Amino acid sequence: MQALQKEKEIETEKKILSLFECSEYLGISKVGVLSAIRLNKLKAQKIQGRWAIDEEDARIYKERKYSRNYSYWNGKKLFDPKKGTYTIKVASEVFGIKTQHLYYAIRQRDIGFIRKGQAYILEKKDLERYLHKRSLMPKRGFRDE
């Protein structure tokens, strides 16, 4: 009897998150949470027509959530700032260039890049060359008078 009572107490201590609460906890949209549920990446169940997600399952999903920073290609890490390869987002932060400027430079072929699947890999030497080239270009926009 006591074992059954303890089991019930443990179950009641589990925190159950709604779809909205889970989206806030994970820092993604409700559609993102639903997508993770449909892809069986996040455990959830419907209770009285509403999604219920165990907080522990949400925590596990958050830990294992995909991040391009940890992408691998044929067993080798795609991006490694120590070796001079960056994602567009990380390059933007490190070199102080807006991400949209990097995407534009890639489309215009102003910056060297490597494409692996859907990922763009930017190398440090190419970024430095691009920055040097940009510094030589005249500034556009309004002039202070």
Residue 80 carries which DSSP code? B
Is the dihedral angle over the CA atoms 23, 25, 28, 34 positive or is it negative? negative
Number of structural domains in the chain: 2
Residue 3 clears pLDDT 60, i.e. is over it: no
Q: Do residues 56 and 112 share a domain?
A: no
Which CATH number goes with the domain that contains 6? 1.10.1660
Residues 77 and 130 in one domain: yes
Read off the pLDDT band of 145 (50, 70, 90): very low
**89 and 113: one domain?**
yes
Structural domain range at position 28: 2-64
Query: 145 in a domain, yes or no?
Result: no
Which position has the token pair 């001079």? 84
pLDDT at residue 30 greater than cutoff 70: yes
What's the mean per-residue pLDDT of the chain?
Answer: 84
Structure tokens at 3: 């074992």
CATH at residue 78: 1.10.10
Structure confidence by residue, pLDDT tens digits, 71-95: 777 777 788 888 899 999 899 999 9
Same structural domain, 60 and 72: no
Q: Is residue 141 part of a domain?
A: no
